[in-house]
Amino acid sequence: MSLPKVHEIPIGGIITEPGSSRRNLTGGWRSLKPIIHDDRCIRCRICWMYCPEGTIKETKGEFVVKGRKYQYKYEIDYNYCKGCGICAHECPTKAIEMVPEA
Amino acid sequence: MTAAAAIQKAKAALALTSNYAVAYAVKAADVDVVAVYPITPQTTIVEKIAEFVDDGELNADLIHVESEHSAMSAVVGAAAAGARVFTATSSQGLELMHEVLHIASGLRLPVVMAVPARAISAPISIHGDYSDVMNTRDTGWITYIASSAQEVYDTVIQAYKVAETTLLPVMVSYDGFLMSHTTEPVELNDEEAVKRFLPRRERPNVLRPEKPITMGAFAMPDWYYEIKYQVQEALASSLKTIEEVDAEYGKAFGRSYGIIQTYRMEDADYAVIAYGGAAFGNAREAVDVARERGIRAGAIRLRVWRPFPADRLLKQLAGVKAFAVIDRAIAFGSPGGGPAFIDVATALYMGGMDVPGLSVIHGIGQRSMYVEDFVKVFEMLKDGERNKVVYMGLRL
Amino acid sequence: MIEIRFHGRGGQGMVTASQVLATAAIMEGKYAQAFPEFGPERRGAPVKAYLRIDDRPIYKREPVVEPDVVVVGDQSLFVSENPLEGIKGNGILVVNGAYKAPVKTYYVDATSLALKLLGKAIVNTAMIGAVVKATGVVGLETALAALNKYFSGKIYELNAQLVKVAFDQTKEL
């Protein structure tokens, strides 16, 4: 990929397009991949809070797991998850497991 | 201008210090945001501006900040949002805002700041020299050094046009105390005419909610260099803008100064290069005295310090036998003694010229500089003194 | 060019006196330059201020070393300082109270006048009147107009009166 030259870059290092970091798919950086075991998840939201990249997706709805009803479900956006493992480290019920990338 | 015309012209003048001249220029430029933090000898600038705001003569937001670091940060933020901004400081204050000076130029924000130049601690000194301004040499700011209260007024107004055209921050410096607190005649412009000279133009890339952009983002090694090179290139090409704005100002208001100012250089054998009011003013007087004593003397003033006006200076030095640079700052540990001498020597080298020179340090911590000292410099040049650093006025 | 050096003590207002006279000169269409010998301002400390007036632009910015006129606001300065240093042969001394000096001397009892009219020993405005009388460097009316740019209202009125009385009472020794 050829990068733009001096006069092709907006001056002042300004990024003129909002949300351009969405194009930077950092999922490829992973060597370990977090897996959420939904049956152990107590919906405490700690992973959602701690993820440095905001890759934990919160979905609203009716979810029944082992006879318990939940209003939320947590999933990981693997397009952007770098596999840092913070979520697994913070999870109080060890519901998140880091497994090698296939 | 004939003497009679000069007298006629001065009649409309007010008696102002250079600091008050800055405040009047800021008012004429209709500045939107002023960040204020006091430090001697700058304080009376923002005091006067506060008075203008209080009296309703200037419709600006005056931000009282807790340090100079915050003062520069506040005007960087306001400029990023598209405001016309001003702040002022001296000495330790300029040192404290140093890192933010780089941010203003890196983000290409047209910040304008006045700096009555002052010595730096330790030991504590409130007196004037150019140690503070010279320390900002590599920050990417356009830097003027004015030599009269009138020029300070005119230059601050020019600075807004230069800043908004080049998208570079501009510093207008001048002698602390020897100008900042000296009462002199200053002619003010019609403020409506200044408004026409400084039209409000929509700047590209300002922070607006309806068109979001990112400023101050991280740049990896494959991006950073190009963005910093843009600043280098913008500074180099800003000389042309500085010259054009000065000429346009001259047309509109009858006063212009150029990038360097010369006095009796036409047939000079020996040149003294100086900056600021006291050093150049006294050097200029010394030229007349030296000529009466049979030395073909001339003086050159650097009105613009950054970008350094190398080409223009070399043209002046092409015919001289030797030159001296008067520096009111010490470049500690350097081979050249003073910062301006180092640049003059570099300019000569880069231009393939070999003219011998003297580096003269004087006026440090406002050590008194006398006309006779500068006559002595011309005598030293005539006597063949070359290629060394002279610490003038020092008890050695 | 006329060069004037003011000697006083911090708080006597000699710096302001130099600025008022510079302002008056500028109002008369001349060029002027007034600046103090700076330091952290301290009441009672010896203070110097310099004033240059000319028909042409003034470039020189050195301390006044060979004054045409020396103004002394406090005679005790003759003990601790040398106010007459470098004064030109035909120079003039303008002094607060009679003081015998080896140059042409004008004096006025500025302290008494200031105490009487202002109730304070701030002698600068009286010395403005004395300088105007002794040197004619600016007109009395212009000096008063210039004073009005630094003071207003009742303070101006009192000080203007002081300038006028001092002008009338200034005598050659």
Q: Which residue of A has its CA nearest to B218?
A: A13
Among B7, B177, B370, whose Cβ lies nearest the Cβ of C62? B370
Confidence of residue B11 (pLDDT cuts 50, 70, 90): low
CATH classification of the domain holding C19? 3.40.920.10
The count of C-alpha atoms lying within 13 angstroms of the C-alpha of C21, restricted to the half-sphere facing its C-beta, is 35
Longest dimension (CA), chain C: 41
Mutate to test the interface with B, among A3, A6, A23 (most CBs of B within 10 A): A6
**Any B CB within 8 A of A13 CB:** yes
**Cβ atoms < 10 Å from Cβ of B373:** 21
Q: Is A16 on the interface with B (CB under 8 A)?
A: yes
Q: Among A1-5, B261-265, C130-134, which stretch is predicted with the lowest mean pLDDT?
A: A1-5
Contacting subunits of C (3+ beta carbon pairs below 8 A): B
Where does the pLDDT of residue C40 fall: very low under 50, low under 70, confident under 90, or very high at 90 and above?
Answer: low
Does the structure show a pLDDT above 90 at C126?
yes
Residue A22 lies in a domain: no
Question: Which amino acid belongs to residue B160?
Answer: Y
The pLDDT tens digits of the residues spanning C77-125 come to 999 899 999 999 999 999 999 999 999 999 999 999 999 999 999 999 9
B260-391 matches B15-253 in CATH topology: yes
Q: At what angle do helices B18-28 and B43-54 cross, to 10 degrees?
A: 40
Q: What's the CA gap between C3 and C27, in Å, rounded?
A: 18
d(CA B273, CA B279): 9
Identify which of B108, B229, B233 has the shortest CB distance to residue A12: B108
With a cut of 90, say whether residue B9 has pLDDT above it. no
d(CA B346, CA A87): 57
- Chain B: nearest CA to C90, how far in angstroms? 22
pLDDT at residue B4 in the model: 45
Which letter does DSSP use for residue B183 in this model?
B
Measured between CB atoms, does A15 come within 8 Å of chain B?
A: yes
Architecture of domain B260-391: 3-Layer(aba) Sandwich (3.40)
CA distance A42 to B300: 78
The total number of structural domains in chain A stands at 1
- B225, B227, B238, best to mutate vs chain A, most A CBs in 10 Å: B227
Can you tell me the distance from the alpha carbon of B369 to that of C142, in angstroms, rounded to the nearest whole number? 33
At C102, is the secondary structure helix, strand, or coil? coil
Q: What is the mean pLDDT of residues B350-372?
A: 97
Res C6 pLDDT > 50: yes
Q: Which pLDDT score, from 0 to 100, does residue C29 have?
A: 95
Mean pLDDT to the nearest integer, C117-139: 96
Return d(Cα B374, Cα C59) in angstroms, integer.
Answer: 14
Give pLDDT, residue B5: 46
Query: What's the confidence (pLDDT) of residue C37?
Result: 87
Q: In Å, how far is C112's CA from the nearest CA of chain B? A: 29
Half-sphere exposure of B109 (CA within 13 A, CB side): 30
CA distance B275 to B261: 10
Nearest to A43 by CA among A22, A69, A67: A69
Contact B6 C56 (CB under 8 A): yes
A17-62, pLDDT tens digit by residue?
A: 888 888 989 999 999 999 999 999 999 999 999 999 999 999 999 9
Candidate CATH numbers 3.40.50.1360, 3.40.50.970, 3.40.800.10, 3.30.460.10; the one for domain B15-253: 3.40.50.970
Residue C2 has pLDDT above 90, yes or no: yes
Cβ neighbors of A30 (< 8 A, separation 6 or more) are A78, A81, A82, A83, A101
Cβ distance of B282 and C55 shorter than 8 Å: no
Q: What is the pLDDT of residues B351-360, one digit of tens each?
A: 999 999 999 9
Evaluate whether chains C and B are touching (3 or more beta carbon pairs less than 8 Å apart). Answer: yes
Residue B55, CB half-sphere, CA atoms under 13 Å: how many?
8
**Residue B76 confidence (pLDDT) above 80:** yes
Interchain CB distance below 8 Å, B106 and A6: no
Output the pLDDT for position B58.
Answer: 98
Give the count of domains, chain C: 1
Q: Do C60 and B371 touch (CB under 8 A)?
A: yes
Q: Which domain holds residue A49?
A: 28-100
Cα of first residue to Cα of last residue in chain A, in angstroms, is 27
Domain boundaries, chain B: 15-253, 260-391
Question: B329: part of which helix (H) or strand (E)?
Answer: none
Tokens of A30: 């992973």
**Residue in C22, C59, C146 nearest the CB of B285:** C59
pLDDT value of position C39: 66
Find the domain containing C57 and state its range: 2-172
Q: Smallest Cα–Cα separation from B48: which of B149, B175, B160? A: B149
DSSP-assigned states of every residue in B102-120: HHHHHTT---EEEEEE---
Question: What CATH number should be reported for the domain holding residue A66?
Answer: 3.30.70.20
Judging contacts by C-beta atoms under 8 Å, the chain C residues touching residue B262 are: none
Distance CA B16, CA C22 (A): 10
- Contact check, Cβ <8 Å, B3/C56: yes
Helix (H) or strand (E) holding A77: none
CB contact under 8 A, B185 and C35: no
At B8 the pLDDT is 45
Best residue in B11, B44, B48, B183 for a mutation probing chain C (most C CBs within 10 Å): B183
pLDDT band, residue B223 (cuts 50/70/90): very high
- Looking at the partner chain, which of B106, B222, B234 has a beta carbon nearest the beta carbon of A13? B106
Name the pLDDT band for B331 (thresholds 50, 70, 90): very high
Q: What is the pLDDT of residue B1?
A: 39
- Using CA atoms, how far residue B314 sits from A51, B341, B345, in Å, is 60, 13, 10
Single-letter amino acid code for the residue at B317: L
Are A98 and A34 a contacting pair, CB within 8 Å?
A: yes
Query: Each residue of B102-128: pLDDT tens digit?
Result: 999 999 999 999 999 999 999 999 999
Q: Which residues of B touch C31 (CB under 8 A)?
A: 6, 10, 184-185
Residue A1 confidence (pLDDT): 67
The average pLDDT across A70-74 equals 95
